């Protein structure tokens, strides 16, 4: 069985792909599930809580940026890295996030994106 370098490394917004690729995909899947289940129009708020290493070192590794962009429908393969920081800053200053680019809701960066620096969930590293 051959393994490509592309099987080992994923494209991401960095600086740490291990802290951005998975969270971005998970946030996008969550927002996609809201749409799939017909809940998008009824969604008034979102709160994201990160635990373990994502909560402990997330700010330095870009995890909050990845989560916000994922909620807006971005994926690691196609996100415009040149515009990513500006979009996150716009979310912070406007207090609004646009779920999958189709449903805008209030979003308080400090209250709605919580990084638990010293708390891990059971059965997770």
Position 54 scores a pLDDT of 81
CB atoms within 10 A of CB 91: 21
Q: What tokens appear for 87 in the block?
A: 């979009």
- pLDDT tens, position by position, 26-42: 999 999 999 999 999 99
Provide the percentage of residues in the chain whose pLDDT is more than 90: 60
| 3 state DSSP class of 45 | coil
pLDDT of residue 106 exceeding 90, the answer is yes
- pLDDT tens, position by position, 109-118: 999 999 998 8
Q: Say whether domain 15-115 belongs to CATH 3.20.10.10.
A: no
* Rounded Cα gap, residues 10 and 6, in angstroms: 7
> What residue spans define the domains of the chain?
15-115
Q: How does residue 5 score in pLDDT terms, banded at 50, 70 and 90?
A: low
The answer to whether the beta carbons of residues 86 and 33 sit under 8 Å apart is no
């Amino acid at each position: 069985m051959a393994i490509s370098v592309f099987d080992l490394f994923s494209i991401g917004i960095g600086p740490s792909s291990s802290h951005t690729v998975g969270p971005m995909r998970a946030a996008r899947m969550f927002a996609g599930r809201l749409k799939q289940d017909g809940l998008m129009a009824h969604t008034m708020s979102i709160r994201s809580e990160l635990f373990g290493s994502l909560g402990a070192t997330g700010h330095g590794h870009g995890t909050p940026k990845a989560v916000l962009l994922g909620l807006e429908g971005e994926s690691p393969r196609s996100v415009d890295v040149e515009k990513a920081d500006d979009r996150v800053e716009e979310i912070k200053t406007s207090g609004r996030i646009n779920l999958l680019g189709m449903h805008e809701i209030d979003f308080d960066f400090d209250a709605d994106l919580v990084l638990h620096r010293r708390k891990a969930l059971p059965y997770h590293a």
